[in-house]
């Protein structure tokens, strides 16, 4: 495995519940399917995917703004994964919608045009997932002004 690889370890606890280990020093998480398939005792795989997309987007936006020595904190992100059926009738994530909100007014930040035009390109997870699932991304400031 290359040094640029990442891995997680899953161990079934019962039925659809899996303990997910991310590595030494990082707390484990219990994943589960929602009822009626599972018991809903932890995030579902779709929720993990949505969280990964949102976390990566928020990280990329934060990094792009910090590059100009500015502080947009606290950034918030909500990701909705739409689930529908494909041509074979199987459930799939058909679209994702990400909405990021800065913790400050955009007027207090410089170079936002450059940030907004580039931050998505540096988001490893979103760019990878987006090759198979359409992802719509919006950015707002703390005054709910839509920036993107």
pLDDT tens profile 40-85: 999 999 999 999 999 999 999 999 999 999 999 999 999 999 999 9
Q: What is the pTM of this model?
A: 0.92
Tokens 């606890």 correspond to: 13
Say what the pLDDT of residue 1 is: 52
**pLDDT tens-digit profile of 94-117?**
999 999 999 999 999 999 999 999
- Give the separation between CA 35 and CA 37, rounded to whole angstroms: 5
What the block records as the tokens of 50 is 């949505």
Helix then strand count (H, E) for the chain reads 3, 6
């Amino acid at each position: 495995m290359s040094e640029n690889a990442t891995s997680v370890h899953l161990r079934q606890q019962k039925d659809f519940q899996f303990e997910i280990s991310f590595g030494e020093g990082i707390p484990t998480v219990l994943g589960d399917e929602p009822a009626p398939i599972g018991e809903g005792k932890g995030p579902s795989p779709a929720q993990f995917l949505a969280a990964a997309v949102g976390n990566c987007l928020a990280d990329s936006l934060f990094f792009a703004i910090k590059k100009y020595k500015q502080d947009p904190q606290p950034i918030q992100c909500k990701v909705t994964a739409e689930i529908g059926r494909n041509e074979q009738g199987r459930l799939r994530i058909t679209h994702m919608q990400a909405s990021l909100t800065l913790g400050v007014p955009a007027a207090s930040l410089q170079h936002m045009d450059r940030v907004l035009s580039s931050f998505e390109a540096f988001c490893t997870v979103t760019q990878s997932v987006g090759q198979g699932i359409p992802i719509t991304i919006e950015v707002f400031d703390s005054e709910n002004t839509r920036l993107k």
